[in-house]
Chains A and B, each alone.
Chain A
Amino acid sequence: MKVNAGNLKKGDFIRYQNEIWQVQKAEFYSPGKGSALMKTRIKNLLSVKNVDYTFKSNEQVDIVDVESIEMQYLYKDAENLHFMDERTYQQFTVPIQLVGKAANFLQEGNKFFVYFHQEKPLSVKPPMSVRLKVVETEDAIKGDTVTGAKKPAKLETGVVIHVPLFVKVGDIVVVNPESGEYVERVKE
C-alpha cells in the first residue's frame, strides 16, 4: 500500500530503497517559502541503524503490511528477546536493539504483541504503559520536601528509573516503556 509521506507516523513500517524500516519520528516541516516536507527518523530493521530522511510531503511511500501477534515473552539473552506463540509453541527471537529502550521494561512471562512480515518477526509493539514492582530504592530523607525531587529506583526487570521520593520498595509503579519515565504509583 502506498501513502503520502505527509501521513507517515511513528511506528509505521515502510519499504525504502528496497529495505524495511520503522518510522521512529515523523514531523511535518515546511520552509517559509517552498514545498512542504516530512522529516523522519527511520530505523533500518536489518542494520538497526537510525537514519534521518526528509520526504516530500506529497511523495508516495510504500507501507509494509505487518501483522501483530500476541506472544509470551520468555526471556532475553545478550542480543535477543525470546517469544513463544502459545498456539503453536513455536519460538521467535527479536533483536534487543530493534526494540530499543522499551526492552528493559518487558516483564518475562507477560504477553506482548510481536510484529510479523511474511512470517518473520520484525519488532515488538511496546505497550502504552507497564506496571512493575520496585525492588530497590533508598528511603527518602525526612524533611526533604522539595517538590519534584526524584531518586533512583530499581524495578523488577532490573532497570533503574527515577521516581518521586514517596515511592518505597514493594510499591507498584506505572512506567512509559518508550520514554522510561515514571507515570504514577498504583495500589496493588
Chain B
Amino acid sequence: MIIKTKIENLKNYKIYLNVEQATHEFFQKKGYLKVDLPVLSPALIPESYLEVFETEFRYFDKREKLYLTPSPELFLKRLLVAGVGNCYYLGKSFRNSEPNSSFHSPEFTMLEFYKVGATYLELADEILDIMKFISSSLSFRAKSRNPIQSPMREISPLAALGRNDSDIIYKGKKISFEKWEKFTVAKAFDKFCQISKEELFDENLFLKRAQEKGYAISYSSSPESKFGINSVDNPDKNRDRQARTINFSYQDVFSQILSQEVEPKLGKNGYPTLLYDYPAEMSSLAKLNKDRKTAKRVEFYIDGIEIGGCCEELNDWHEQKKRFDDQIEKRDRFHMKNHAVDNGFIETLQYGLPDCTGAGIGFERLAMIFVDAQSIGKLKLINVK
C-alpha cells in the first residue's frame, strides 16, 4: 500500500464535512447522545463473516492482544444496558480482508445508532428522515452561499422536473427521499431471481436451486487443483493429500445471488429501496419474526449499492449465547482467525438490554450519494491504498 495526497478532492471533502455536520445536527435535534468510543478492544463479538485486525499492547514483558473494532456494537449495547438511552457513534471501524475498491476500504467511517422502543421498520423510516435532513441542509447551504444564481447541483435539466428541496441528483438521476420502495427479501428473490419462498428458507432446497442456476455450491480441494498440472506427473508426492469437497455455506451462496441478481435492481426507480425480513441465518444479532424463519432486519440501497441497515436487537441472552457459539463453530469450520470473544457482553445482556433497534450505515457510502462521487477514494484528501 502507498500514501497518496489528493488535494483535488478538496471540494468533495468539504461537502463530506457538511454531510457529517448535518448528521450530527439531526441526532442532536432528535435527542440522541453522541458517544466517542475506543477503536482498540481486547475482545469482540464473534460474527462468522468478519475478518479482524489484530495488534498487541506491550509494556516491558507484558503482552496483551488487542483488536481494531469492526463495529462499535458491543460498546454501545453495554451503554444501552446501563441505561444511556438513544445514542449514536460516528467514527472509524476496521475490517480486514476487505481490499480497497470503489465501495470498500479496510478502514472506514461507521454511523451506528440505537433507538429504544423503536421497531426495525420505524427506525428505517428515521433513516429516510436523516437522508431528507442532510439533503435539505446541503441545498440550504448552497442557496445561502449564492443567493442569486441557483446552486451548482441544480444546473442539471432534471432540476426542472418538479424537484423537491430534499431531492438529489446522483449519477445523473433524481433520487427522492419522500418514501421507500419496499420489498421483503422473499418477494425480491421471487421477483428478480425466481427463487420461491420455500426454496429460500430451506438450506438444501436453496443450494439445489442455486446449482440449477449455475452457481458453484461446492469446490474440490484436490491436489491437482491446488498445485497445478505438474502434480499429475508426480502422483507419489501427492498420495497422502486427499481430494475433498468443501461446501459453500448458505450465507456464501445467498450473498452471491443477492449481489448478482437482486441488488442491481434496487434503488433504481427514483427512490431508495428497503429490503426487509432477512433469513434468520443472515442475522446473528437480530430478533426473529413470528414465522421464526425471518429476522427483523432491513438493508437499504441506492443505485444498486447497499448503504446500511438496521435490525431489532436480540436481547434474550440465552439465545445470544447460542448464536455466538454457532458463529464460533462456523469460523472454525471456515478456518477464520478466532479472536477473543467478548463474554462480558453476554453477562451484560443478562442485566437486560432494553427493546431497541440499532442501525449501521457506511458513512462514506452515504456521503458519496450527496457528493455525487463514484468511489470512496474521491472523498478523501489522503488515501492509503
Residues of chain A touching chain B, judged by Cβ–Cβ distance below 8 Å, are: 1-2, 17, 27-37, 39, 52-56, 58-60
Alpha-carbon distance A52/B229, docked complex (angstroms):
29
* Given A53-B260, A54-B259: A35 and B49 interface contact (C-beta under 8 Å): yes
Closest partner residue, chain A, to B309 (CB atom):
A32
Alpha-carbon distance A104/B257, docked complex (angstroms):
37
In the complex the two chains form, is A31's CB within 8 Å of B258's CB? Answer: yes
How does the 8 Å CB contact mask read for B245-269 relative to A, with 1 for contact and 0 for none? 0001101111110111000100000
3 nearest A-B pairs in the assembled complex, by CB-CB distance: A34-B255, A54-B260, A35-B255
Q: Which residues of A contact B95 (CB under 8 A)?
A: 30
| CB-defined A-B contacts under 8 Å, sample of 18 | A2-B225, A27-B102, A29-B103, A29-B259, A30-B95, A32-B299, A32-B360, A33-B49, A33-B282, A34-B251, A35-B252, A35-B254, A36-B49, A36-B98, A37-B259, A52-B264, A53-B260, A56-B252
B132 within 8 A of A: no
Q: Which residues of B contact A39 (CB under 8 A)?
A: 259
**Distance from B350 Cβ to chain A, minimum over Cβ atoms (Å):** 25
In the complex the two chains form, is B98's CB within 8 Å of A28's CB? Answer: yes
Closest partner residue, chain B, to A39 (CB atom):
B259
Alpha-carbon distance A31/B257, docked complex (angstroms):
12
Q: State which of B104, B228, B284 has its C-beta within 8 Å of the C-beta of A1.
A: B228
Alpha-carbon distance A58/B216, docked complex (angstroms):
11
**Distance from A133 Cβ to chain B, minimum over Cβ atoms (Å):** 30
Alpha-carbon distance A54/B97, docked complex (angstroms):
17
**Distance from B173 Cβ to chain A, minimum over Cβ atoms (Å):** 19
B313 within 8 A of A: no
In the complex the two chains form, is A29's CB within 8 Å of B104's CB? Answer: yes
In the complex the two chains form, is B259's CB within 8 Å of A31's CB? Answer: yes
**Distance from A165 Cβ to chain B, minimum over Cβ atoms (Å):** 20
Q: Which residues of B contact A31 (CB under 8 A)?
A: 255, 258-259, 299, 306
